[in-house]
Structures are given as structure tokens and as C-alpha cells.
Amino acid sequence: MEKKERKPVYYSEYLQLDKILNAQSPESQKEGIRADDEMLFIIIHQAYELWFKQILHELGIIRGIFSQSNIENNTPDIYNSVHRLKRICRILDVAVMQMGVLETMTPLDFLDFRDLLRPASGFQSIQFKMIEASLGLKYDQRHGKAYYLSQLTTADVDRVKTAESELSLLVLIDKWLTRMPFVNNLEYWGQEGTSDFWNKYREAYVSSLSEAEMAQVKVFDSIFINKGEYPEGRSFSVDAARNAMFIMLYRDQPLLQLPYELLSTLLEVDELMSMWRHRHIHMVQRTIGKRVGTGGSSGAEYLRGAADSHYIFKELSELTSFLLPRHLLPALPGSLVDDLGYRK
């Protein structure tokens, strides 16, 4: 780094504050109407878009990491990925809390300028849709698909479609889990292979269930026992699901600690996205009630649909149902335990 030869960097130029702080042109001002809260409305949405850009930046780095072929083992890259996913969670915490600032705008104050914004709508945030796509949401899973098409320009639809066509984090995690070697490596397990392991596990699992929970056995079998009956339309392959389960069960082994952190942080991302949508719903309801949104949307309805169905890593979350207490877990072969440890 040639410190001396660089041009000095100043705060306001570095942050391009001339752009950032001159990008607020209230419509009410153009119309000569007094609407003191329109500035807040603009600025909070801009703050959200800045954070969305940052989330996309982090997701890009994480997807880059998982696109490499050689991260089967717990290299610095997985540590880095977990770190970045946790940062995304902290950003989402801010995003959720920030909604409280917008809630200081009363319905009456919003009405001062609301009509001037048609047909703009938060629904048109392309970056948010790209975040969803980048995590793994597919067009077919989007709540209100037709509506979605009608709201965006062709160029914007294309940007989202492109994002949807790339390898999402969900797909990359599935591939990484699928090729994880431990449960499937026959070397460790002898002739029986892992079917012996899962059969033993099943036995302990079934005996742990109450009467009311017996229906779960069929689901268990479809994932862990009968490869043939694997349910249609799942995001995770049977091997991925089994390896994810293995990680959750034996997360105390050194090599599985970070993979476990990774899986549980993915669930935290899903949870926080959902919290954000719920908080958003409440804000919308408080501000416009059952009115139709400026973009023509049924406001809260759409958000509720999305909040209930846009869980990307739902299949990971469902595996929790099949966990057993540590003292019932089958012991692992010694050679496997060795390989899950540090060299020293």
C-alpha cells in the first residue's frame, strides 16, 4: 500500500454525500403542499435500499464461496460464510427495528402526501426480490405471482428472473450438503453402510414418540429410510437432508461445529425475514388500514401471504422434529470421530 502517493480521501467525497444527501425531492414540495413527513418516508426507504444492497453484497460473497468445488472440509471459507450470515442477521435486526421509526408517521400525516405517490409501491423494490431470489425463492413459490408480474416493468421482471436463474444459496447449500462425505462414506461404517445407522436411529426415534406424534414416522421413513419414496418437490436431496441431520446431531464434533452454525444461521435469516414482513404488515395496517396500497396492492394481504410462505430453508427447520436427546444417539465409529477432529 503506497500510502504516500495516494490522493487524500475525505469523508464527504468518500461517501459521495453530494449524491446521497441530494436525492430527496418530495412530491409534496413540487406541488406546493405542506407535508412534513414525506422526507421521512423517502429517507427511510432509501436507508432500506442501502441495507438491501449490503445484504446482496454479502450474499454474493457467500454464494461465491459455496460455488467453489473444494469446500467440503471446514476451511476458513465456512467460518467466513457464517460470519457474513450473522452480519446479515444483524442488518435484518436493524431493518425490523427501523420500522418503528416509520410507525411514528400517523395515518393522517401520511394522507397529506399519499395520493401524490401513485402508483409507486414498496412492492417495486427490485433489490428485495433479488434478495429473496438469491436466497432461493423461485418464481413458482412467490405468493401472488400474477400480481408480481403486473407491478414491475419488463426490465425489472428481467432482473428478478435473472437473479432467479442463478445458483441460489439454497441450491449451493444443497450441493454442499449432498457431497459431504461422512455419513455416506462406507469406509467408516463397514458392510452395513449407514442404513444400519439410520435404522438404529429410527428405532430410538419411534420409541420416543407419543401416540399423537406417530404420523411423523412416515415422514421420517421417506427421508431417512426409503430412498424410493422421497417426497416430490423437495429442495434438498435425500443425501443433503441426511447430512444436515447428521450435522445437527453431532454438532459437538469439531469439524461439524461451523457447519452447524451455518445451518442454524440460515434458519435465523428465514426467521428475521419473516419478522420483518410481520412488522411491515403491522405498519401498513396502522398507516392505511384496509385501503388499497398506492401501487394498487391489497397491502397487508400480500405481505401476509409472503410472510407465511416465503420460508426458504423450511426443510432444514423441519428436521428439528426428528432430533433425539444426546443420550439416545447411536455412537459413531472411532475412525469417523477421529476424522471429525483436529489433527492435533
Place of cell 433479488: 130
Can you spell out the DSSP letters for 37-92?
THHHHHHHHHHHHHHHHHHHHHHHHHHHHHHSS--SS--HHHHHHHHHHHHHHHHH
Residue with Cβ nearer its own copies (171 or 255): 255
Q: Amino acid identity, residue 135?
A: L
Closest CB 290 distance from its own copies, rounded Å: 4
Cβ within 8 Å of residue 128, ≥6 positions away:
52
> Residue 235 in 3-state DSSP?
coil
Closest CB 151 distance from its own copies, rounded Å: 9
How far, in Å, CA of 343 to CA of 205, rounded? 33
Closest CB 138 distance from its own copies, rounded Å: 22
Residue with Cβ nearer its own copies (94 or 149): 94
How far, in Å, CA of 65 to CA of 43, rounded? 33
Residue with Cβ nearer its own copies (190 or 289): 289
Closest CB 171 distance from its own copies, rounded Å: 22
Closest CB 331 distance from its own copies, rounded Å: 15
Residue with Cβ nearer its own copies (15 or 196): 15
Residue with Cβ nearer its own copies (32 or 228): 32
Residue with Cβ nearer its own copies (195 or 318): 318
Closest CB 178 distance from its own copies, rounded Å: 18
| Cell numbers describing residue 217 | 414416522
Helices 169-178 and 126-135, interaxial angle, to 10°? 10
